[in-house]
């Protein structure tokens, strides 16, 4: 039986999209629904873990009787909330689709319609997984995601190294039934020691169970 495997463990999961304000009524965002992150949260809960969710704006019902929940909007807010929790965590799963850029200046008033073209200057956001990866201590496990459209394995393995992940979960934005919004996903999981696994196209709940199985294979030194 594998149910109580994470009993006493604290798990941080980032999930959903971020929203980066342009002005009081507009924002930049992406299609993440939070389903993948919530499926992982449910799997950890079933296995006895105490789960902390830092969630961008999602319309999923999140049971605050089962999970600690911090709701955020922007990448900057997601970083602050995650950083506060990070030191206490045993496992961190970065399932959120964080905006890489945000408007350099947030207009205080609604931007008026004027010329036939307009541009918005963007500045780079903090990379949450990268920053917390630098602070990772012995015994902590970091799991990243990669959402790719080309050179998928190469890009995923690059992120695995750069962000100091123990394993990375690759999903493709091109594959039918995988990635954003669907109740299904297909992932390939790569460990930092070279091992890998392929889920095939299955429910996000089944993908979550596979991710937990792979996490159990990571050598830790608690
Ligand atoms: O929410 P769903 O609709 O169920 O869709 C699930 C999903 C497609 C959002 C999910 O499976 C997924 O792939 N999440 C990560 C999407 C992503 O932004 O990947 P990335 O390749 O851009 O980022 C790589 C990793 O760094 C991710 O773990 C990401 O959370 C993290 N990151 C990225 C940028 C940033 N500024 N901070 C981060 O922490």
The residue contributing the CA closest to ligand 1 atom 33 is 98
Angle at 104 between CA 29 and CA 148, to 5 degrees: 40
- Give the C-alpha separation, 96 to 109, whole Å: 29
Neighbours of 145 (CB within 10 A): 23
Mean pLDDT, residues 22-28: 98
Only one residue has tokens 């009524």, namely 25
- Residue 112 belongs to a domain: no
- Residue 222 belongs to a domain: no
- Residue 39 belongs to a domain: yes
Which of 144, 13, 169 is closest to 85 using CA atoms? Answer: 13
159-188 tens-digit pLDDT: 999 999 999 999 998 899 999 999 999 999
Relative orientation angle of helices 35-46 and 204-215, to the nearest 10 degrees:
50
222 pLDDT above the threshold of 80: no
Position 220 scores a pLDDT of 82
- Domain count of the chain? 1
Which atom of ligand 1 is least distant from the CA of 132?
A: 39
Q: Which domain holds residue 172?
A: 3-105+120-215
ipTM: 0.99
29: tokens are 């965002």
Mean pLDDT, residues 129-150: 97
Instruction: Measure 69 CA to ligand 1 centroid, in angstroms.
Output: 19
Q: Could you confirm whether 151 is annotated as catalytic? A: no
- Residue 181 belongs to a domain: yes
- Residue 111 belongs to a domain: no
- Residue 54 belongs to a domain: yes
Position 221 scores a pLDDT of 52
Confidence of residue 3 (pLDDT cuts 50, 70, 90): low
The residue contributing the CA closest to ligand 1 atom 21 is 146
56-109 tens-digit pLDDT: 999 999 999 999 999 999 999 999 999 999 999 999 999 999 999 999 999 999
The residue contributing the CA closest to ligand 1 atom 20 is 146
Pocket of ligand 1 (CB under 6 A): 14, 32-36, 75, 94-98, 100, 125, 127-129, 144-147, 159, 163, 171, 179-181
User: For all residues of the chain together, what is the average pLDDT?
Assistant: 96
Instruction: Measure 1 CA to ligand 1 centroid, in angstroms.
Output: 31
CATH of the domain at 153: 3.40.50.10300
The verdict on pTM exceeding 0.95 is yes
- Binding-site residues sit at 100, 110, 145, 159, 163
- Residue 110 belongs to a domain: no
For residue 36, give the 3-state DSSP assignment: helix
- Residue 40 belongs to a domain: yes
Angle at 74 between CA 137 and CA 108, to 5 degrees: 145
């Amino acid at each position: 039986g594998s149910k109580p495997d994470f009993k006493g463990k604290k798990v941080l999961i980032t999930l959903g999209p971020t929203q980066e304000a342009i002005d009081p009524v507009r924002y930049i965002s992406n299609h993440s629904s939070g389903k993948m992150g919530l499926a992982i949260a449910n799997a950890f809960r079933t296995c006895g873990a105490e789960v902390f969710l830092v969630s961008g704006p999602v319309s999923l019902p999140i049971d605050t009787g089962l999970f600690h929940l911090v709701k955020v909007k922007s990448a900057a807010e997601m970083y602050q909330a995650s950083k506060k929790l990070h030191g206490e965590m045993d496992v961190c799963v970065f399932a959120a689709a964080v905006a890489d850029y945000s408007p350099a200046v947030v207009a205080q008033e609604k931007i008026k319609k004027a010329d036939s073209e307009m541009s918005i200057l963007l500045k780079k956001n903090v990379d949450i997984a990268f920053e917390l990866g630098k602070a990772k201590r012995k015994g902590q496990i970091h799991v990243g995601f990669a959402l790719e459209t080309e050179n998928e394995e190469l890009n995923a393995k690059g992120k695995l190294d750069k962000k100091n992940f123990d394993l990375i979960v690759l999903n493709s934005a091109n594959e039918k039934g995988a990635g954003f919004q669907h109740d299904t996903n297909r992932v390939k999981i790569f460990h930092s020691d070279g091992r890998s696994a392929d889920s095939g196209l299955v429910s996000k709940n089944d993908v979550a169970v596979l991710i937990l199985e792979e996490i159990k294979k990571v050598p830790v030194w608690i």
